[in-house]
Chains A and B, each alone.
Chain A
Amino acid sequence: MSLTNEKIIKMYTRMVTARLLEEMLNEMFNEGMLHGTTHLGIGQEASGVAPCMTLMEGDKITLTHRNHVGCVGIGMDVKKILAEMFGKETGVCGGFGGSMHMVDYEKGNMFANGVVGGGLGIAVGAALKMKYKGEANIVICFMGDGATNEGMFHEALNLASIWKLPIIFFVENNGYAVSMPQYRSMNIRDIEKRAESYGMRSIIVDGNNAIDIYNMTFSAAQSVREGFGPMFIESKTYRICGHSRSDIEQLYRNQKEIDYWLAKCPIKRLEEYMLKNNIAKSEMLKEINTQIMDELKQAVLYAQNSLEPSLENIGKYVYAK
């Protein structure tokens, strides 16, 4: 199925929502309005949103500490995301999870993991259930380049491969694991190569080109859905912001490198594509941006006006039932 114009507009809307949400969160942290930390996904909107746009009812994703873009990508309610950032009862995790642990099982987000590589086993298990039950669903397991150096990465890819599970391992290679550049953490240029040793098919995509990512993930997903076993996608992108709130000086990289990637902004590139192919006019794009900004402002108000979780419930969810 080719990308319809309607779907492209929806993808664009989610990418812009993710960008504006992250910018807004950054400002609110700077103003001291939010507690804790956050890992901004600015620059990775194509990698985070486009794969989610290929999903069908019942498909699942697992996300990482840098998960807000994926949460928006899979269509989670920004009101509930923001309420969680504020630690409120109305948040997606009722204030128990926070920035790194956004969950919305119904929408397809099984869990966002604060442990690098922590989501891989979970994704494999979810795919096992789909295969066991004979469902036509798939899992997309998101991870960063750093996770591919974890032992779990190798165990998970191997198991998914020998059991022919319906899963796509989607690496958002943003160049850095905190301060560690990829070239210092592994002796290969393309992480994709690692998949081959598990007998797994793999592809590399331009991680800042939403259309390419959609198309390639879509065909990969189709083959995975048909029972041909897992696939591996390396999406080469870049983390524009620091690793987290505490990564201030960023001595490990220079502005020239950041500028190079700023010029490849995935949102700008999608806008150019949409204008060139008459998918939208610039007024329409402006209108979309304005609407999103309004929606986000409403969402912040919603979050601020929501109740704090009751201290009476502090131990309520340790055990089920």
Chain B
Amino acid sequence: MKEITYREAINEALAEEMTRDENVILMGEDIGLYGGNFQVTKDLILKFGDNRVMDTPVSEAVIAGCAVGAAMSGLRPVIETMFSDFVTLMMDNLVNQAAKIHYMSAGEISVPMVLRLPVGCGTGAGAQHSQSPEAWLCHVPGLKVVFPSNPYEAKGLLKAAIRDDNPVVFCEHKMLYPTAGSVPEEEYIIPLSQANIVKKGTSLTMIAYGYSVQKCLVAAMQLKPKGIDIEVIDLRTLHPLDEDTILESVKKTGRVIIVHEAVKTGGVGAEISALIAEKAFSYLKAPILRIAGMDIPVPFNKTMEQACVPQILDIKKAAERMMRR
């Protein structure tokens, strides 16, 4: 094992896949010598050349469209959006093109591409550079949406995403980029659509993804001395969901809290709540609870910015309340 950051893990996954398969190419704004806005593609242009690591103009729509066409033609493009907020400028190509072409062509054409999105708040960049848009994309059949929670997950999931024959949206939380974690020296892959039970427990199930998994884990550790034994599930893939892992855990604990930074209304938590209500209602000992971002644009002020998304204390308090019921 070795210690690397989330950022380095993604960089390693890209480098390994580019070495393995010459059809893997990268496109995006400032991803070449500049190394990407968050330095994720640093030095890849030196290793693989500018015909495989391609700086583009500020043209999100055609970056995505070009990736769709290249993928339909047999390449495996991985594209970067500077901030996930700018995915709005790519939506036609993701929603109407990438997600539907395999279906509309009755399977004749597939679109193996990955869109990397730096997601989330905490950087003080204001409402247009801090959103968590993952739920919008989960609403599109044909897309897969992945959101790793640490360096190990990021590397293994990105390698799986690149090898997948479908368009995959790969969300990366900005606050995780500098965080370190253990990663095996040898190659490994984490399959898509398989959730991970990060910590086993019996009293309550916490379901989260991305940065929120880290917050849930801390909350769980801090609650353990109080006799609250929390099971933490890292969804890993938000769409299509691993329903079995969720339902089995809820049936075991009978209590569930879903945590995410994205706004609550129409979020991934709403979908999971409905799933549990439909398929495991009789096992519930308490109402399902969502702890999610407030239904507001992300504010600039640091205190307000922190207040608008779930923090460890919010999660702990909610769990304690739920256990008292």
Contact = CB atoms under 8 A, between A and B. Distances in A.
Interface of A: 60, 62, 93-97, 101, 103, 105, 110-111, 113-115, 118, 120-130, 132, 151-152, 155-156, 158-159, 162-163, 316-321
Contacts of A120: 62, 65
A320 B54 CA distance: 27
B105 A125 contact: no
Interface in B160-192: 165-166
A321 B111 CA distance: 12
B57 interface: yes
B73 A126 contact: yes
B51 A132 contact: yes
B64 interface: yes
Interface string B92-124: 110011000111111111111000000000000
Nearest to B240: A319
Contacts of A320: 102, 107, 110-112, 165-166
B59 interface: yes
Contacts of A125: 65-73, 75, 77
Nearest to B141: A318
Contacts of A96: 103-106
B108 A105 contact: yes
Contacts, number: 140
Contacts of A113: 97
A105 B72 CA distance: 9
13 contacts: A96-B104, A96-B106, A97-B104, A113-B97, A118-B65, A128-B69, A129-B74, A152-B62, A159-B66, A317-B106, A317-B107, A319-B144, A320-B107
B166 A319 contact: yes
Contacts of B97: 113, 115, 118, 121-122
Contacts of A129: 69-70, 73-75
B69 A316 contact: no
B142 A124 contact: no
B105 A156 contact: no
Given A155-B61, A162-B57, A320-B102, A121 B107 contact: no
B107 A316 contact: yes
B70 A115 contact: no
Contacts of B65: 118, 120-122, 124-125, 152, 155-156
Nearest 6 CB-CB pairings of A with B: A121-B65, A125-B69, A94-B106, A122-B69, A155-B62, A320-B165
Nearest to B109: A105
B135 interface: no
Contact of A132 (B75, B104, B240): B75
Interface string B284-314: 0000000000000000000000000000000
B246 interface: no
Contact of B69 (A101, A110, A163): A110
B281 to A, nearest CB: 26
B62 A122 contact: no
B92 A152 contact: yes
B265 interface: no
Nearest to B71: A125
A155 B75 CA distance: 21
B51 A126 contact: no
Contact of B61 (A126, A127, A151): A151
Given A155-B62, A158-B57, A111 B93 contact: no
Nearest to B142: A318
Contacts of B166: 319-320
Given A94-B106, A105-B109, A123 B69 contact: yes
A125 B272 CA distance: 36
Interface string B195-230: 000000000000000000000000000000000000
Nearest to B59: A155
B103 A318 contact: yes
Given A105-B108, A122-B72, A111 B62 contact: no
A115 B96 contact: yes
B105 A97 contact: yes
A320 B163 CA distance: 12
Contacts of B102: 317-320
B25 interface: yes
A136 to B, nearest CB: 15
Contact of B101 (A60, A111, A126, A163): A111
B61 A152 contact: yes
A122 B109 contact: no
A122 B62 CA distance: 8
A318 B107 CA distance: 8
A121 B69 contact: yes
Contacts of B111: 320
